[in-house]
């Protein structure tokens, strides 16, 4: 990604780190930043050597949410009729979820869109000082990034309404109990742990990992039976791969597998 923008990418081995740095504004998002983040997710998908993405945020806080004054006109207007279609993955996985695994690290304030981006990621590591709140109703807005669906999916109707309708703040341990995050670590360790998890994923065959994520997404979108019907395709795509042959060879030879994603 272009240097000097609030969102940059760095490839280290097979891990693409996507970093948000608008620290002076508590990493609040502008419309342009959403486009940049979609571009970074597209880069993750399109870069052959990038097997896993890690989304991180500069400073003490994840994000305070939207930079609301910069959105006022577009929210009232809605999507422009002449706006070109965008088939890139979007940060909320509303248009399309990223095909490759995405790990996210959160700390401090993680409000509104921060939660919705976390719920669109695959694995989330939270610092123990992380604080969460879906504050839109306190500003006169409904939720626009999928919270009305994903809270219910993760936590059930009662827990979802308990937080969405009250727009209250809750801590990292509550987020863990709700299933919004998968690990809580000491403050300051969240990025290192997210990168460690990404490296663990990279020890697995990337084609197999992507197939598992793809088929799980079919379940979310089309239901249980549709996901079961994906099993033959999953088997064909992975059992005939060079990575499966390498997996067998490494097992027989008692060594670590070296996968290529083919």
Report domain extents, the chain. Answer: 7-202, 206-252
| pLDDT tens-digit profile, the chain (262 residues) | 455 689 999 999 999 999 999 999 999 999 999 999 999 999 999 999 999 999 999 999 999 999 988 777 666 566 544 455 688 999 999 999 999 999 999 999 999 999 999 999 999 999 999 999 999 999 999 999 999 999 999 999 999 999 999 999 999 999 999 999 999 999 999 999 999 999 999 999 999 999 999 999 999 999 999 999 999 999 999 999 999 999 999 999 999 989 988 8
CATH code of 7-202, in short, is 3.90.226.10
Instruction: Note the Cα 178 to chain centre separation in Å.
Output: 17
Q: What angle do CA 36, 123, 97 make, to 5 degrees?
A: 45
Q: End-to-end distance of the chain based on CA atoms, in angstroms?
A: 26
């Amino acid at each position: 990604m272009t240097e000097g923008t609030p969102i940059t990418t760095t490839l280290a081995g097979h891990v693409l780190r996507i970093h948000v740095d608008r620290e002076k504004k508590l990493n609040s998002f502008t419309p342009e930043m959403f486009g940049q983040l979609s571009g970074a997710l597209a880069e993750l998908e399109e870069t052959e050597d990038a097997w896993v993405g890690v989304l991180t945020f500069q400073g003490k806080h994840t994000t305070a949410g939207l930079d609301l004054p910069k959105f006022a006109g577009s929210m009232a207007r809605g999507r422009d009729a002449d706006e070109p279609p965008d088939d890139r993955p979007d940060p909320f996985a509303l248009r399309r979820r990223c095909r490759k695994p995405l790990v996210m690290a959160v700390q401090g304030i993680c409000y509104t869109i921060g939660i919705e981006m976390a719920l669109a990621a695959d694995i989330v590591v939270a610092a123990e000082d992380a604080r969460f709140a879906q504050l839109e109703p306190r500003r006169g807005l409904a939720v626009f990034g999928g919270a009305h669906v994903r809270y219910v999916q993760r936590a059930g109707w009662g827990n979802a309404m308990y937080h969405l309708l009250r727009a209250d703040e809750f801590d990292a341990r509550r987020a863990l109990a709700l299933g919004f995050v998968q690990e809580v670590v000491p403050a300051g360790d969240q990025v290192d742990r997210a990168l460690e998890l990404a490296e663990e994923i990279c020890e697995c065959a990337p084609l197999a990992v992507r197939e598992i994520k793809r088929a799980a997404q079919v379940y979310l979108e089309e239901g249980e039976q549709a996901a079961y019907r994906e099993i033959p395709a999953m088997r064909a795509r992975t059992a005939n791969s060079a990575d499966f042959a390498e997996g067998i060879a490494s097992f027989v030879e008692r060594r670590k597998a070296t996968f290529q994603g083919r």
